Structure 1
Amino acid sequence: MIAVSVEEREGYSEIVVKGRLTMTGVGHLKSAVADVIARGHRLLVLNLRETEFMDSSGLGAIVGCLKVAREAGGDLRLGHVSERVGAVLKRTSMDKVLAPNGADLGDDA
C-alpha cells in the first residue's frame, strides 16, 4: 500500500511517499507530480523517508517524474531517502542522476 501527499513549502513542493513504491502504486506518484506541475509549481522535492521499499517500477516512475518536471522548466530532487531506497539508488547508479537535496542517500534519521 502507498500514500502520496503534497505539502507546499516556500519555493518548492514536497511530495511525501509512504509505503511501498511498486507497480501498483506508481500511478499515485505520477498523478501527484502531474497535479503539482499543473498548478504551476516547478521545483519538487521527493521525500522518501517513509518509503519502505521500491522496485524497478518505482525507480522508473521517479525518473519519469524527473523528466516531467524538467520538461516543465523545473527540477525534482530527493530528500530524506530511506536506507532501503538509498541502497536501490546506489546499486543502480541512479544516485548520480537523482541528486539528493541536502540529505544523504540511505540516511533515514
Structure 2
Amino acid sequence: MFNYRTLAVALTAFLVASPVFAVKPAVAETTKVAEAANSSVAVTLLKMNLNKSDLKELMKVKGMSAAKARKIVSYRKKHGDFKSMDDLKKVKGFAKMKPALKKAVDEQLTV
C-alpha cells in the first residue's frame, strides 16, 4: 500500500532544498575538502565576483564596510573590470588594510 507520509516528506524536502541550488550570477562556487575524524566533509564557500557584484552584494562580504564596497564599485566604473585580485590594491584604502583583514576579505572575493 502506498504511504502518503513518505510522499509528503519527500516533497517537503525537495521544496526546502531547491532554493539552496539557486545561485546568483555574481556568485561563484568553489569547493574545499576538509578531513574530519574518519571521514572527509565537503565545505562549500561562496565567493563574490568583483566584476559582477553590486554594492549590496559586496557589503555582504565579511570585513567589507559600505565605504570600501562603494570604492570598489567606483573604481570599477572608472577603470573597468579587475584583471586579478592584485588589482584590489589599486583601490583607495585596500593597500593599507591589515594583513589578517585583507586575507579574510580576499578569501571571499574572486575575479
TM-score in same-fold range (> 0.5): no
TM-score bracket relative to the smaller structure:
under 0.3
- Of structures 1 and 2, the larger Rg is shown by 2
Which TM-score applies when normalising by structure 2? 0.25
Higher strand share: 1
Which TM-score applies when normalising by structure 1? 0.25
